[in-house]
Structure 1
Amino acid sequence: MGKTRACFEALRTQLPEYRVATPAGGPDLMLAVEVIDRTGTRCAVWLDDLENYLGPEGLEPGLLTELVRLRIPVLATMRHQQFEIFAAPEDPSEAGSEHARLAIAGARVLRQLEAVELDRVWTAGELERAGEVDDDRIADALDRHGPYGLTEYLAAGPALLQEWHRATRPGGHPRAAALIAAAVDLARTGLRPPYPIDLLTDTHEPYLVAAGGPLLRPESLDTALEWATRRRHGVTSLLVPTQDPNAWNVFDYLTDHTRTPIPDTTWHAALQHATEPDDLATLGFHAHHVAPVIAEDFYRQAADVGHTGAMINLAALLARAGHTDEAEQFLRRAAGTGHTDAMNNLGLLLDSVGRTDEAEWFLRLAGGIGNVEAMNNLGVRLARTGRVDEAEVFFRRAADAGHTGAMNCLGVLLHEVGGLAEAEVFLRRAADAGHTGAMYSLGVLLYEVGGLAEAEVFLRRAADAGHTGAMYSLGVLLYEVGGPAEAEVFLRRAADAGPTGAMNLLGVLLYEAGRVAEAEVFLCRAADAGDPDAANSLGILLSRTGRMGEAETAYRRAADAGHSGANNNLGILLGEAGGMDEAEDFFRRAADAGHTDAMRNLAILLRQTGRAYEAEIFVHRANDGEAGA
């Protein structure tokens, strides 16, 4: 609340001599920049509700860089709910879709901006300064705002939200409440206001029926409208008037604080009301994850009239549902218009179904035209197929264009080939830009070179962002530096997400702490999932608790998978049970894999069976192996 007024006051205070450009949408923004540049006018760009300007035809990272170069100030506002949508991590199942690409591009723009967050609740210092202002409204708000933010109280947000919810009760204003609910959900579909009264009237009936219908004895439509549009607290109304006397907007506090599912009837009402392809595509964008079947209807109607973004998003939905042939058709249509994102996505789709040569062709085409995502995706494919030098070229090109994923991939690639110093540079750039994978990769690199304190910092950042590998690696680090209690916390989080290595180490940690039964549970889970390290650890636990038959079974599972430690342990167990010939076989298998303890154990066995000369050979091999290590 108050974001627009705060931005206006900042503009008035800091740039009083500047004219203000307020483009109506993304395409108008690019035109405005051209006009400002051509005329040399001292002008600031005002973008209220920034989400309406993000995208390939609006504010994208390249245009923002150009605005900075031209020294054109940009002021923008964005509700927290919308900020979270664009700042949220990408859904891996949607990687490459227009939906994901738009979200990623928006996130990159947000990272380039100097964000000023208006917290809902003010600090003690802010409240103290507010008390020094000679304004009766602020004084009243300071006395009465309670748990709400001061600006919320001033804008009557909490009070109006409660009044709306109470209106549904018998004896209240149930029809008005239903009209408001319809307007709130229409706004949440992405349908732009104003909303004609006929649309609200047609849409509100299911809400009224769901609340109780005739049993609530709803008021007349005129009475409901009068109540919903009445000004409250000298500030605003629930339904907000617009320039059209027969159409309304809705108080955005209500929209921000509504989380209930949007009924299908409201989505369909929005579909019937939207006429422009861009509006249909926007509705599809909002429905994409919460109502994919309905989103498909929006996208198809927009795609039918040539909207390439809708074609790309529709292809993403179809591919996720397994309809890859139809998804390919829409991507080819969009790619045929020269849309490089469609070329990129088509390349990813073809790669996913094994048509690798054709996939690479489209990725090269899109990357050659300048699509940064395609450069990165091509780098990934080249690295995966062993063409590391060429992969590095494309990763560098994408990284130079600001692609944080490419910075991470390049850092990982350089790390693997031994270029640690340069790898660290790229990983830090990506981590500083908020790339979770880069935080993890940088933490691993720092851990390997002995920078444990800083490694812990980056691994914690990545783990807090939900990166399972970082949870596991942080658990390993904490286990090694003697923080078993906290190590257990992160290993449990990682184990719950599935990595068997985390289950294995957690089992080892619990065993060392004397919690044998609990340790066995995790080791069994990991061993049953096919982890040979865990099967070997389970064998150790079982043998130390006297369950030799079960221990042998566990060791054999790990040994069959080539685990040299398990081969050695199985040799010890069999030798102690008198199975010398089979013990020798397992010792030899472990020794051939370079296991020095197995070499020494084999030497002992050989001496016991009168083969002293051969025993000395394995003793020397063990000594040489330890010296080399």
Structure 2
Amino acid sequence: MPGYPALPPYVLRDRDADLVSALSQARSDGGLVLVLGEPFAGKSRTALEGMAEELADFRVYAPARGADLRGLPTLLHGRPERYALWLDDLDGHLGDTDGGLEPRMLAQLTALRVVVLATMREDAYDACRRDDRGRVLDLAQTVELAREWRSAERERLRLNYGADPRLAEAARSAGPEGVPAYLTLSPRLQGEWWRARRADRHPRGHALVRAALDLARCGLTGPLPMDLLLKVHEGYAEVTGMERESAEDARAWAVERRYGLLRLLDRVTGDTWRAAPILVEAAGRHEELPDVPGPVWGCALEAARTDAAYDYGEIAAKARVAFQRAADAGDTSALHNLGLLADSLGEGDEAEHWFRRAAEAGEPQSVGRLGRMLAERGEDRAAEPFLETAAEAGDTEAATLLGKLLRKRAARWLKAGMEGGSGEAAHLFGDLQLGRGDVDDAFDSYLRAVDAGYAPVAASMARVNQIWNDNESATVWLRRAADAGDVWASAVLAEYVRKENHTEPRRVETVDRALDDIHYGAERGRALDATNLGVLLEERDRADEARPWYLKGYELGDAYGAFRLAELHKKEGDKAEAAAWYRKAAALGHPGARRALGEAPQPESSGTEPAG
């Protein structure tokens, strides 16, 4: 840590008194003192501290691993200085034939009152005891040092917090692996994790661990489901090369035990995990580690909202600080995140403030959110431009809401147009009502279109009659719509004819009821009903009775009446008369007549209502 010595202050261990006692005896008599323990138990540091206390006036010889020690007794013989032989990892200095330490050499050194201070791992100790090299271990004063610290040791550690922040971190974060292991391995694990971000190493593994680390930085220090980590880790766009590593390989790398002790991801229970505490503690000192991204904060807030183990308000307060800092740095997405956060806390005015600022900065998601807020409180007209902008940017929800608002406004004005006598408005208003399931109200609106002589209402009238199972009336309207070029009506009419040719004849009372209904409209002067009555009669093979009704429909302004007269003359082979009536129908705008004459259909005009 910058500004602090390489090693933190030494904290007394419970076995220090035993070690000092052994060294004191060896100072008087010479001999071997062995500090024994698991890897990273703090053996070397404890032994060196003991040496500094008890053998401060000794000269120390520290040979390299495997060095030939056979000449050492001769070299030290007769010298007035006192000597200590430092053998860290004693198993690398044992042996009878290659100049290693063995009983005879130890006896020679002891005779010279040389203190041999050594350390050794337990596994190496057990291995050496199984062969001849281990004979010298019988001559040692052994002090065993546990890796996990006892309560008294941790209390002494607590009392030294102020001397070095690394001790405080170790006290908070060191688990069964012990404080020395934490202090030793922390920088190693942090460095390994950080370097793994490179594309040729373990970028996905790095991102997976970072997901757990960032969520912990957000305040989610408890167990995290692997599914959540996998979701979050995909969002680190700056980590390149993740496609080269599978999720399975990334997970295996992240949970692998390092140095036989520590993992980057620690399992809690089941398939839940957390970032190694040493990484979480080191995150605050990491100069290159970016701030937690906004989407990760979003995931943290969502998890905190649904998990009673967390205080949502506390997580939200931390998120607000992070979002505000990012917004001050120019991140416009942070403005949107501030809006979402305020909205989740029920702060409606605050949320609107941030959404509006983000929208002004060009955040499309904020534009849609602001539009929805305005719509929810009834400010439809104010909401529409925001919703339209968001919809054009691909916001499906905004597009849907905008459509609903426009339909609502369209209904208002179409109803006004209908009340003013517009057949087209009555037709469109009826379609809106039918879409809502208001069949009776839709039919009433369609009748007003019929009263206005608006012929394009035919297909809609057919649909209503289908719903009511009045196939006779539906057929008449389908025939009108099909002759005008309606593809749907043509298909349905063809199906009706097919069924009629393969089923029993229609009941007379059904035909009579349809005749009565349409006759009633025709007698009232409805142009469309007059022609429709003719169609129904013609369908019943009563063409002579149909002709005057076609004529009446035409005289009342229905182009379809002229078209049907042309069709009758065509069936009778009177081409000249048929052509004359086609021209009359075409003059009134009937598209079928225009096709019959080989003319292009006339484009609809917003100022006129088609009559055919």
Tell me whether the two structures share a fold, i.e. TM-score over 0.5: no
Q: TM-score, normalised by structure 2?
A: 0.28
RCO (CA 8 Å, sep 6+): is it higher in 1 or 2? 2
Structure ranking higher in helix proportion: 1
User: Larger Cα Rg: Structure 1 or Structure 2?
Assistant: 2
* TM-score with structure 1 setting the length: 0.28
